[in-house]
Amino acid sequence: MSKTLAAPRAATRERSRIHRPTTGMRVFRVVNVIVLSAFALICVLPFINVLGSSLATPGELATRPFVLIPQTFTLDAYRYILSTSTIFRAMGVSVFVTVVGTFVSLLLTSLMAYALSKRYLRGRRVINFLVVFTMLFSGGMIPTFIVVNSLGLIDSLWSLILPVAINAFNFVIMRSFFQGIPDSLEEAARIDGCSDLGVFLRIVLPLSLASIATIGLFYAVYYWNTYQNAILYINDSTKWPIQVLLRQIVIVASGMNADESAVDVVPPAQSVKMAVIFVATLPMLIVYPFVQRFFVKGALIGSVKG
């Protein structure tokens, strides 16, 4: 009986000895935590500086070039920018462009990637080559402007969506992910009577949520940060997204020539500029945690397979 009990105990002690971390592993973990914590702190410090500067008084900003925790807290900058409808209008434009643009881009990218992931599709290699070719060479600013102007999209919010609806890099990631889905699943669905569109909606999309969430985050961040296209294609200041409005406020605050009536403010202080930056960054910070768990999984699967 004693021998029967001694054997499992010995095996347990042996397993604990094998899995016990060595000195080298402990040192590596400590160094790893220190390095990653320092890197995270470097990434977070600029954002804390923006938030602290937006809550500081103009006098403190004049004497302290780098503010993390203000000595005197004030909400005057936020009261100032939120007292006008301009920033709410710009936020509404950015939200519209981001939501609609992300939906349109995901729809077009997923449909195109699914079709071109099929090896039996005629002309597949030529189309794939043309798409990848745009990653190296593009038409340029002036030809793109001529195309947008000829389509009558100047001063239209669709000019911020349609010219960039499909990103070649995102397309390649999603196509690689679709290529990793077993053909047997699609064949079984077709035997049950599903059409190509039915297979895509009922089989492929549910299996691709991680990849779609990741690509959707890429598109959402791009549309939210829309800046150059808005300057080129939008002349009406009432249709400016938040990033262009932020640029206008910075120009006005710097005392340069700008359309002050477009921002409905007098040249603002440094704290006002920081407050606008924080308000413009906050929506993406709120959305990111909800899709963060899909981010690494979707990007790695889409890039490794195929």
Pairwise CA distance, residues 131 & 166, whole Å: 10
User: What share of residues in the chain are helix, strand, coil (percent, to 5)?
Assistant: 75, 0, 25
pLDDT at 261: 52
Interior angle at CA 162, CA 122 and CA 93, nearest 5? 150
pLDDT at 158: 92
pLDDT at 297 over 70: no
With bands split at pLDDT 50, 70 and 90, how would you rate the model's confidence at 253?
low
pLDDT at 265: 47
With bands split at pLDDT 50, 70 and 90, how would you rate the model's confidence at 266?
very low
Percent of the chain exceeding pLDDT 90 equals: 12
How far CA 80 is from CA of 225, 253, 292, in Å, comes to 23, 14, 33
Interior angle at CA 190, CA 189 and CA 193, nearest 5? 95
Pairwise CA distance, residues 289 & 298, whole Å: 15
pTM of this prediction?
Answer: 0.76
List Cβ neighbours of 44 (8 Å cut-off, separation of 6 or more). Answer: none
Supply 138's token pair.
């593009």
pLDDT at 34: 93
pLDDT at 96: 94
Query: Mean pLDDT: which of 5-9, 28-32, 242-246, 300-304 is highest?
Result: 28-32
pLDDT at 295 over 70: no
- Over residues 125-143, the pLDDT tens digits come to 898 888 888 888 877 888 8
- Over residues 147-189, the pLDDT tens digits come to 999 998 898 999 999 998 999 999 988 888 888 888 888 888 8
Tokens 């598109």 appear where? 219
Task: Round the average pLDDT of the chain to a whole number and report it.
Answer: 80
With bands split at pLDDT 50, 70 and 90, how would you rate the model's confidence at 108?
very high
Pairwise CA distance, residues 54 & 274, whole Å: 5
pLDDT at 221 over 60: yes
How far CA 16 is from CA of 13, 21, 22, 71, in Å, comes to 5, 10, 12, 52
Closest CA to 219 of 87, 91, 97: 97
pLDDT at 303 over 70: no
